[in-house]
Amino acid sequence: MAASVSTEKKQETTITTLLNVRRGAAAIDFYTSAFGATTLSRMDSEDGSVIAHLAVGKGDFWLADESLPHQNFSPESLGGSSMRMVLLVDDPHTAFDQAIAAGASSICPVRDESYGWRIGRVVDPFGHHWEIGKPLTEG
């Protein structure tokens, strides 16, 4: 009897995030300018709302215009965000400054923390908080 060979592609388990925003098209422009994001896919609807899949370096995330009927609220609707994105980069100071130049606001400047990270935090124009940093190496 021959061995059974499966030709089905197995789905790998992955976790990514979807950011709900107001003004999705403007958010894509901001993330492109602030973080060098590239658009992997984008769907625009007739009402002007957008869903997009973006990549920054080796990471990716989705964004979509908020949808109140589906309880997908942006930080602007909620009055704040319940999560933070962490952007790992080789040069946190440059990435932080680029985000500020693109329209983000500084929450904490980039600094060396006692727990071994060089990190700062910005809030983007859509209410999402981004930690921008890298672990420090000894030596």
pTM for this entry: 0.86
Class of the CATH domain delimited by 18-66+81-135: alpha beta
Residues 129, 112: Cα–Cα separation, whole Å: 19
Maximal C-alpha separation, the chain: 67
Residue spans per domain, the chain: 18-66+81-135
Q: For position 5, what pLDDT does the model report?
A: 61
From first to last of the 139 residues of the chain, give the pLDDT tens digit: 455 566 677 778 888 999 999 999 999 999 999 999 999 999 999 999 999 999 999 999 999 999 999 999 999 999 999 899 999 999 999 999 999 999 999 999 999 999 999 999 999 999 999 999 999 985 4
Residues 94, 132: Cα–Cα separation, whole Å: 10
